[in-house]
Structure 1
Amino acid sequence: MQQRQLPKQLMIEVEKCLIALLSSESDGTKIAASQAISAMCEHSGSKEFFNHQGIPQLIQLLKSDNEEVREAAALALANLTTCNPANANAAAEADAIDPLINTLSSKRDGAIANAATVLTNMATQEALRGSIQSRDVMGALLAPLRSANTVVQSKAALAVAATACDAEARAELRNSGGLEPLVELLRSKNDEVRRHASWAMTVCASDELMATELCRLGALDILEEINLSVSRKNKFSEAAYNKLLNNNLSLKYSQTGYLSSSNIIGDGFYDYGRINPGTKLLPLKDLCLQEPNDIRAILLVNSKSSDVSPPPSTEDKSSDIGYGRSISSSSSLRRASKEKTRKNSYHFSAGVGSPTEEKSEPTSGRNTALSKGTTKEKGLRKGRGKKEEEKVKEEEELITVPKWAGEGSPEKEWYPPFDPDFCVYVYEVTKSILPINSIKEQIEALAKYVAEKMGGTIPKDKLQDFSWELHISELKFQLKSNVIPIGHIKKGIFYHRALLFKALADKIGIGCSLIRGEYGRAWNEVKLMNKSQKGVIGGLPPPEVYLVDLMFHPGGLIKLKSREADLYRFL
């Protein structure tokens, strides 16, 4: 029994001796003691022992003027805190965060890598992560991310992944210029660097703003290239690529032709059509500023307007104003003031939010002040003289000329074309379809609603006679743009209707997917439980997938693997 206890007793004596040596006046002794502690961390008992007596002394060594001492101390702390939350807490209690962040600017690569490892180990705990984030860790990690040393690059990228877990931290990383070097690390020939950079990319792409910026910097293209290589791809690169796509649904739908029920279409989404791998998808602003041509119309979903109110007008000048020249006073807004006074009272100036926001916000009483103001404005306009009408017309013409059109004037902030008709659709389905208790009945009602707005039922044998192409061409001419807000389309076929169904379904919380087919075909799929199978012993059966008919029998639900479904999806 005594023989078994002897090694443990000796171990304790050695541990005590090493702690004493950390206070030696000799830097060489401090380095050797720190390195010995690092080696002893392989034993869980030693990790527990140093929790109380070694960590504070090691943190003091991080403040040494000797770079080698700091490196050795950081190595010991890295090993002590790895897979050991208690030691990570002990380090935080001993005020390790500031010395560790200062060590990130060390002249020795080993010290930097070890300090980044300790911070990563500490950041796995939410409370400690908040303390680390408050010390400008993102700015401190900028130089390590740009290091030429692959170990430092790898540890720095891992630290970003551990600390960029909330929007504020990601914003600090972006503002400090940390995204550019992080994207560059994806090009590394080192497997670990690529893996950790991909992991950090997955974390950073958690919000749309960051995902958009990362795509602008080329992250999506690099990840696509990596994932095409059998030797270079990894599960983290695949996860990062999918995360970026899921926060850039316009690009995802163009590339893959598929949006799942969890891909919620928001304001600013546009369907450009299918693009080939490697093809760049132009930003919406660039597409809106292009002159109309023979390309397929680009469908836009946008219920969000600028904060600029439309000028008073008795004319609808939609045919005279293109999107590229109507930033301050769009034709859509003027149409809204003229045609949608009654229905547009709920005017979503800040856009329509998530389905839960739609449910929590009352739909009645939104419009009282706006309606009264509009009625009053109509009365005033009615009594205007000819000179006043001419004055109003001149004001409109001035407003429609963007500020950036003048030489030397600052560029006006650009907004996507506002779609008042789509806003009305959202309001109406929220009011009439959302309260329906049955999901199946909600889907059927929404399908009928979409079909009604897009030209009604179309018999299969009359499909060729449905002149939707002419209607779309007229809209492009009127709007002077290839971009057409979805609400403007009154004669739509498969892919117009499927997009509108998905966009409205997302607004009211109906789960559905959107799939692009060939030759203008697109459809929505929904999952429903079969009532006849409820109560079956052995648990609930999986839900069945149905295709939603928006064309031939609007509201009909077709089992996916049926002949009827194939006839709907394919020519």
Structure 2
Amino acid sequence: FEPLCVEGKSLQTVVLLLKSTEEDVLIKACEAIHLFAEKAENKVSLLGLGALSPLCRLITHENIMVKRNALMALGIMATNDVIIQEFATLCLASLSVDFICKVQIFIREGLPPLVQLLSSPDPDVTKNSLEVIYNQVQDYHSRQAVHELGGIPPLLQLLESDFPVIQHLALKTLQIITADKDTRDTFREEQGFEKLLDDFCDLHVEALQVVVNFLTDSESLHLIHQDGGLTRLMEFFLTPNISEVQCSAVECITRVAHSEIRRVLHEHNVEKVLVEFLSVEDDRVQTATCKAVHALSFYRASMDSFRDLGIPAVLELLNSESSMVREAATLALCSLTDGSQLNVAVSEARGHKVLIQQLYGSCPGTLANTAAVLCNMAEQVVIRSSILSHGAMQALVEPLKSTNPQVLVKTLRCLTVLACEADARAEALEMLQEINQSESRRSSFSSLAMTSLLNSNLSVKYSLTDNLTFTDIIRDGFYDAGKARAGQSILTLEELSKQPVNQHRPIIAVEEDDRLKEKSESETPDDKQWKMMDDASLQNIVQEVKKSILSLSDEREQYAALALVSDTMGGAVERDKLHEFPWVLHFSELKFRLQSNVVPIGLIRRGIYCHRALLFKCLADCIGLSCTLVRGEYNRAWNEVRLFTGNPSGKELSSQPSRYIVDLMHQPGCLLAVNTLAAVRYTTI
């Protein structure tokens, strides 16, 4: 075609020609735009029609005239201050996402002009500047700088903007910078809280997030309360129906619940609102509400309200498909059941049955909370029995496999409380014994639990560990059933007493209480109740020991004198004639006469190492002397004592006590220094 002369009288047409592929057209279009943009008022029109983007592309055109005219057009357009500010802030908004760029903006003092531009009449400039500031205040130094540069008033002013995006950015920025106390003080001085309350209807979630910062500060919280702001907040909390707003509202309630003015929440019947929120079909709302219930339950009046309103609602959440909700629900129950009568309410609602199920396959937080709730409930005897009847002991095996310290601590505490019941204690011991025998499952916590549980039942401890320490005090009801074999369950004294007389070694019982009575001959083996013979002989021995030994002042003399009680078990026996000592026949006669495998220790008149050592330990504990009881092999057992010895001059005592084995068989009363040949010969064959 022959060249055409193109003329455009419409600005839209000329801007459209910038996309032409004809070089002559592009040259004339760029020139026309340059001439048109010389008038200031025309520059904004060109931007509105989208001239900027094609002109930017043309500055790299191969034709020199096209490139020159495009650059001239852009140059004249860039002389408009608002346009420069808009595109400069837009560039900075993109750059400020990067950490290194944020540092450069701060170092090169970019914040002062950006704070000033918050008051720009151009909404694009305002929005871009606000976005840069929002990105910058993620860093503490920039937060401080915005406050010092007077950024609070213009940010508050932007809450009244006609553009929602600006409102939200302003609130998000305020939420971050009001985390600092000085900024909160300035915010209050500028009546920021009042402005925030006035805009609640429009700014819901973001406004509440700013409020949360003030509710964590006790000084701000009191000032808000004094100015009536808390009452206004409460009115708002009672009405939201949007889940995001409800979450933020509940978070505010939780913050206030941690303060001493939480009574205000109770005065506004906030418990009723929270119970209603528990039924909202939103996991976030339910989770936040449970945390609020947990915090508020430490206030007695609120706890009473929850007892009447909220227990079923919280228990219902234990069945939620969300692990987050279940964890929060168990947390709420932790505080609701902590030393309160709400335990009964939870139990009556069959809550403990559901809680026991939570011990299988839950997250660590849920496991720890559940164990704590069951522990709280088990403090009451009636509830404890019901918990045990639903298989709680077996269920607690699962959390014991955890490696989480909180889970282990709370589970072991729960086990300790449940083990107040004799049957449960035996079951717990079996569980812990099995766990501690496993290389993969054993831990310091399970070992500690085993030790604690054994310390509450010295008979089982001696059977399993063959050792009672200086601090283990034998009391009425102790019995020595011999060393327990691996995997063997340890029977109670009652169970052992009901077994038919057999050829095995006797069970030696320590009981000087008047509770022991002889079995009734009229009772049949099937219906007779467990009763034992009154060990009057042991009572007499104890009384004699107290009279004869407590009057002695020297501790060494006391131990030596106490060793002479071996006379009641046959006296000294020469080592090479030990095989002639008729102790086996004696025990057979006792078992036959008593028609029981259980023999009271006071009746023994022919005893060897293990029997004498047990009597020595029993008597020493009765009169306040300190000793151990250690079981060895082949019926060996011995007592170790500690004595402070003087130096050669006899003026001072050694700083460390010396340890001795007490001879009760061959030279009763002789103290054998530990690890000497004499001590080794006494304790081994």
TM over 0.5: yes
Name which of 574, 577, 592 aligns with 1:462. Answer: 577
Aligned counterpart for 1:507 among listed residues 608, 618, 622: 622
Q: RMSD of aligned C-alpha atoms?
A: 4.1
Compute the displacement of 1:213 (Å).
2.0
Counterpart Cα distance in 2 of 1:66 and 1:93: 16
Deviation at 1:502, TM superposition (A): 1.2
Q: Which SS does the other structure have where 1:300 is aligned?
A: strand
Alignment of 1:277 onto 2:486: yes
The equivalent residue for 1:205 is: 416
1:60 maps to: 272
Q: Deviations over 1:326-372 (max 9, x none)?
A: 523xxxxxxxxxxxxxxxxxxxxxxxxxxxxxxxxxxxxxxxxxxxx
Rounded to whole Å, the distance in 2 between the matches of 1:253 and 1:459 is: 28
Cα shift at 1:29: 5.6
Instruction: Note the C-alpha offset of 1:567.
Output: 1.4
73 and 528 in structure 1: CA distance in 2 versus 1, 3 angstrom threshold: farther
Q: Which residue in 1 is equivalent to 2:589? A: 474
Q: What's 2:534 paired with?
A: 418
Q: 1:299 touches 1:486 (CA, 8 Å); kept in 2?
A: yes
Q: Which residue does the alignment assign to 1:363?
A: none
Q: CA deviation at 1:479?
A: 2.4
Return the offset for 1:566: 1.0
Shift of residue 20 of structure 1? 5.2
Per the alignment, do residues 560 and 88 of structure 1 end up closer, same or farther by CA in structure 2, a change over 3 Å counting? farther
Q: Deviation digits for residues 91-114 of structure 1, max 9, x if unmatched?
A: 666646625644442244466643
Aligned to 2:372: 158
Alignment-derived partner of residue 360 in structure 1: none
* Secondary structure of the corresponding residue to residue 469 of structure 1: helix
Query: In the alignment, which residue of structure 2 is the partner of 1:442?
Result: 558
CA distance, structure 2, for counterparts of residue 535 and residue 156 of structure 1: 61
Contact conserved, 1:186 with 1:193, CA < 8 A, in 2? no
Which runs of 5 or more structure 2 residues have no equivalent in the other structure?
Answer: 1-143, 149-179, 188-192, 194-208, 216-229
1:530/1:81 CA distance change after superposition, 3 Å: farther
Q: Is the 8 A contact 1:288 1:481 kept in 2?
A: yes
Q: Which residue of 1 aligns with 2:519?
A: 327
The answer to whether structure 1 residue 13 and structure 2 residue 134 are counterparts is no
What's 1:176 paired with? 386
SS in 2 for 1:131: coil
Structure 2: distance between partners of 1:412 and 1:291: 13
Give per-residue Cα distances to partners, 1:96-135, cap 9 Å, x unaligned: 6625644442244466643442453587xxxxx4435775
Tell me if structure 1 keeps the 8 A contact 2:257–2:265. Answer: no
Q: How many angstroms apart in 2 are the aligned matches of 1:147 and 1:568?
A: 54
Summarize the Cα distance change of 1:246–1:421 in structure 2 as closer, same or farther, 3 Å threshold: same
SS in structure 2 of the partner of residue 515 of structure 1? strand
- Counterpart CA distance in 1 for 2:648 and 2:297 is 52
Matched residues in 1 for 2:575 and 2:588: separation? Answer: 23
Instruction: Provide the secondary structure at the position in 1 that maps to 2:639.
Output: strand
Structure 1 residues 162, 442: CA separation in 2 closer, same or farther (over 3 Å shift)? farther
In the alignment, which residue of structure 2 is the partner of 1:375? Answer: none
Q: Which residues of 2 match residues 241-390 of structure 1 at below 5 A?
A: 241-306=450-515, 327-328=519-520
The one-letter code sitting in structure 1 at the alignment partner of 2:543 is Y
Q: What is the number of equivalent residue pairs in this alignment? A: 458
Structure-1-length-normalised TM-score: 0.68
Change (3 A) 1:298 1:404: closer
Residue 566 (structure 1) aligns with: 680
Q: Which residue of 1 aligns with 2:94?
A: none
Q: Distance in 1 between matches of 2:669 and 2:348?
A: 55
Question: What is the distance in 2 between the residues matched to 1:547 and 1:100?
Answer: 63
Moved more, 483-492 or 418-427: 418-427
How much has 1:80 moved relative to structure 2?
6.7
**Selected match of 2:609 from 467, 482, 494:** 494
Larger radius of gyration: 2
| Cα distance in 2, alignment partners of residues 130 and 550 from structure 1 | 51
CA distance in 2 between counterparts of 1:67 and 1:456 reads: 78
Whole-angstrom CA distance in 2 between matches of 1:440 and 1:73 = 71
Q: Is the contact made by 1:303 and 1:420 (CA closer than 8 Å) also made in structure 2?
A: yes
C-alpha distance in 2, partners of 1:532/1:30? 80
Q: Which runs of 5+ in 1 are unaligned?
A: 124-128, 309-325, 329-399, 406-410
Q: Percent identity?
A: 30
Q: Deviations over 1:245-290 (max 9, x none)?
A: 2223222212211112222223332212122211123332333233
In the aligned structure 2, how far is the partner of 1:75 from the partner of 1:535?
A: 72
Q: Secondary structure at the match of 1:546?
A: strand
User: What is the alpha-carbon distance in structure 1 between the residues aligned to residue 392 and residue 529 of structure 2?
Assistant: 29
Evaluate the alpha carbon distance shift between residue 418 and residue 536 of structure 1 in structure 2; reply closer, same or farther with a 3 A threshold: same
Flag the 1:445–1:559 CA change in 2: closer, same or farther, 3 A: same
Q: What residue is the counterpart of 1:336 in the other structure?
A: none
1:540 is displaced (CA, Å) by 7.8
Distance 2:532 2:348 in 1: 34
- How many angstroms does 1:456 deviate by? 1.1
Instruction: Report the structure, 1 or 2, having the larger helix content.
Output: 2
